[in-house]
Amino acid sequence: MRIIYSETHRKHAPRWEFFEGEKIPYAEKPERIESIAKKLKEKKVGEFVSPKEYSEDLIYQSHNPHYVDFIKKKASLVKNPQDSFFASYYIMDTYTPIQQGTYQAAKVAVDTAVTGAELLQNGEKIVYSLCRPPGHHAEHATMGGYCYFNNAAIAAAYLSKTGKVAILDVDFHHGNGTQQLFYDRSDVLYISIHADPAVKFPYESGFSHETGVGKGKGFTKNYPLPLGTDSTSYRKTLQDALKKVKQFNPAFLIVSLGFDTYEKDPIGGFLLPISFYEVMGKEIGLLKKSTLIVQEGGYAVDALGDMAYHFFVGISS
């Protein structure tokens, strides 16, 4: 298995976010994917490769050009590397600041996902794009939830030129951006299992009545689950979701993988133990699809490496 990883993500390292009126330490830290990379190197589960550099056109094709230019421009105007600019438009929350290095890091995260997509196209079976910042909340013209460009969606758009793509989003939070970008398409299936948006971010989407529009009707499927969801009920939901992927019969599967479903995640609320990630990997591997794993959230930094390791033991078995 190839693991795509670049250290450029470190150029984006905000110190604070604002949550319910309080200034708190930033949860989406560089140490997150460093912890994963370290563990996977130790365990020798894959071969690390650097992302290729793709044209910015891939970003401009999925996002509003003014939005992309806005992030690039604002990043260039930030004076010191540690400073953060909180935009007041093209943004949905107070968790997604722009730093000097944000555009560059977010661009490399896209390259990391697309490099993985290209490897799938060339016949690799399982590829892991260790992206940071994450992407699934980024909409056509909106940043939010620590996301700027939608890595998984841009990889899906790229792969959809070759064949049908299913995106399975198992991050704890609903991927409002990915859903939006394919809402009217029947050639890209979006399925998400996440915390009930009535109580958790992104609050405004991810309800089960959202099923797509126009030609895309029936090609979006949401499984909102209550806080406190445990392995048993999560597994049943996952099996149901995977059945839908199978029926759709895609050429490629993209998994938006978030480890914030872990029982000790500081911002999650499900009860999955570390060992469950092996089960999750195994269930997904049973589909035998060409699969691109794209890293999304997961904030229990010290345990992330173990979760990733278990997931890859499962999917490769």
Using CB under 6 A as the binding rule, whether residue 258 contacts ligand OKP is answered as yes
Choose the one of Zn ion, ligand OKP, none that binds residue 19, judging by a C-beta under 5 to 8 angstroms depending on kind.
Answer: ligand OKP
Q: Which is nearer to ligand OKP, 120 or 300 (CB)?
A: 300
Strands 16-19 and 22-25, bridge-based pairing: antiparallel
CA angle centred on 34, ends 5 and 100, rounded to 5°: 75
Tell me: does residue 314 bind ligand OKP (CB under 6 A): no
Catalytic residue among 9, 12, 137, 310: 137
User: What is the Cα–Cα distance from 304 to 268, expressed in whole angstroms?
Assistant: 13
Quick check: bond before 197 cis, omega within 30?
A: no
User: Any contact of residue 12 with ligand OKP (CB under 6 A)?
Assistant: no
**String of contacts with ligand OKP for each residue 61-100, x by CB under 6 A:** ----------------------------------x-----
DSSP bridge pairs for 169: 192, 256
Count, residues near ligand OKP per rule CB under 6 A: 16
- C-alpha–C-alpha distance, residues 157 and 76, integer Å: 28
Q: How far apart are CA 57 and CA 111, in angstroms?
A: 12
Out of 51, 134, 212, 224, the only residue in the binding site for ligand OKP (CB under 6 A) is: 134
Nearer residue to Zn ion within complex by CB, 172 or 219: 172
Distances (CA, A) of 194 to 88, 260, 268, 303: 27, 10, 10, 20
259 binds ligand OKP (CB under 6 A): no
**Distance in Å, CB of 198 to ligand OKP, minimum:** 15
Q: Does 172 bind Zn ion (CB under 5 A)?
A: yes
User: Edge to edge, what strands does the sheet with 188-195 contain?
Assistant: 47-49, 2-4, 126-129, 290-295, 252-257, 165-169, 188-195, 220-225
Question: Catalytic: 173?
Answer: no
Among 14, 97, 101, 258, binds Zn ion (CB under 5 A): 258
Considering only the stretches 19-27, 168-176, 212-220, 231-239, report the one whose residues sit in contact with Zn ion under the rule CB under 5 A: 168-176
Per CB under 6 A, does 16 bind ligand OKP?
A: no
Decide which of Zn ion, ligand OKP, none touches 145; Cβ closer than 5 to 8 Å per partner kind. ligand OKP
Among 107, 173, 185, 310, binds Zn ion (CB under 5 A): 173
Residues 6+ apart with CB under 8 A from 173: 136, 137, 145, 194, 195, 200, 201, 202, 206, 258, 260, 297
Beta strands, E only, 45-120: 47-49
Residues 6+ away with beta carbon under 8 Å from 288: none
Q: Is 201 in the site for ligand OKP (CB under 6 A)?
A: yes
In the complex, least distance from residue 297 CB atom to ligand OKP, rounded to whole angstroms: 2
Token pair in block for residue 12? 């984006």
- Contact status: 296 vs ligand OKP (CB under 6 A): yes
Question: Is residue 200 a contact residue for Zn ion (CB under 5 A)?
Answer: no
Residue 265 binds ligand OKP, judged by CB under 6 A: no
260 binds Zn ion, rule: CB under 5 A:
yes
d(CA 32, CA 50): 18
Per CB under 5 A, residues contacting Zn ion are 171-173, 258, 260, 297
Per CB under 6 A, residues contacting ligand OKP are 19, 24, 27, 95, 134, 137, 145-146, 171, 173, 201, 258, 260, 267, 296-297
Catalytic positions, written as ranges: 137
